Amino acid sequence: MLVTLKEILAIAEEGKFAVPAFNVYNMETVMGCIEAAEEAKAPVILQSYSRLFTQGSAYYLAPIVLAAAEKASVPVCFHLDHGASEQETTRAIRYGATGVMIDASAFDFDKNVEITKRVVDTANYIGIDVEGELGHVGTVNDESMDEFTNPDEAKEFVEKTGVAALAVLVGTAHGRYKKPPKLDIERIAVIKEKANVPLVLHGGSGIPDDQIIASIKAGIRKINFGTDICYSFLDGVFAVDRSTVAVDLFMKEPINCVKQFALSKIKLLGAEGMAK
């Protein structure tokens, strides 16, 4: 069933686990994630980067995600990942997203608040919840990163904007890590206590399992996986013999690889059996 970001995060909050948020790119990645969620009886978030909405793919992909979510027996939220502007979040909502992220984290605090609040006001008015970001989570290729999210600022940010979820900078980055990250678990716990909102971890691919588990104990309720979904899909593509020409048959293995990857993360995050 299709649910909103707030609804799915409430399930995670109640069960003290994290909902996996899988970045999807095509029908096959959607199929793999949904099959995993059904098998594990887990709530899941299927999300797409803003470029899929701005460059046209979402015209085809959004109806696939929505059809899959509506057919599913488990709660599924369709979320925009890293919307860069109010125009982008509006477009995603027009395509049926039931949650949107506005990422104004590269701006200073006041500007971030201003942009995020404007998006929250509009989205909430039509029943859509918003994820904001405070502390810019960059990529593994960045030379340096912002200072980690300040807990007092996080509290103020949540109060001023009304976001339903907050992405924080606590040691992760987007992409494939060159060496394992070291998360500031204590900081997550303090932010959670002060800001009292479901917290989001970006850059989920490659975080060691023990740190994922510790971060959830400290208050993380949504963890994003993008890079490793792509690798699992592509590993499947490269494993198939070229003599398989019918594309639907060719895609069975890539779909299965995505499913196995999604299942492993559902279990790690404690989401198995938590569908309500």
Known catalytic residues? 81
H or E stretch at 82: strand 76-83
- The SS3 call for residue 194 is helix
Residue 183 C-beta: closest distance to ligand 13P, Å = 13
Nearest in space to 127 (alpha carbons), one of 167, 96, 81: 96
For ligand 13P, the closer CB: 155 or 269: 269
Q: How far is 25 from 124, CA to CA, in rounded Å?
A: 27
Phi, psi of 99, deg, nearest 5: -155, 150
Closest to ligand 13P by CB, 43 vs 226, is: 226
Choice between 43 and 83, CB closer to ligand 13P? 83
Nearest residue to the partner ligand 13P, using Cβ: 226
Question: Which residues in this chain contact ligand 13P in the complex, by CB under 6 A?
Answer: 23, 81-82, 174-175, 202-205, 224-228
Looking at the Cβ atoms of 11 and 229, the one nearer to ligand 13P is 229
The pair of structure tokens assigned to 175 is: 């992409």
Minimum CB separation of residue 184 from ligand 13P in Å reads 17
Structure token digits, residue 231: 């690798």
Q: What's the Cα-to-Cα distance from 145 to each of 33, 35, 169, rounded to whole Å?
A: 31, 36, 9
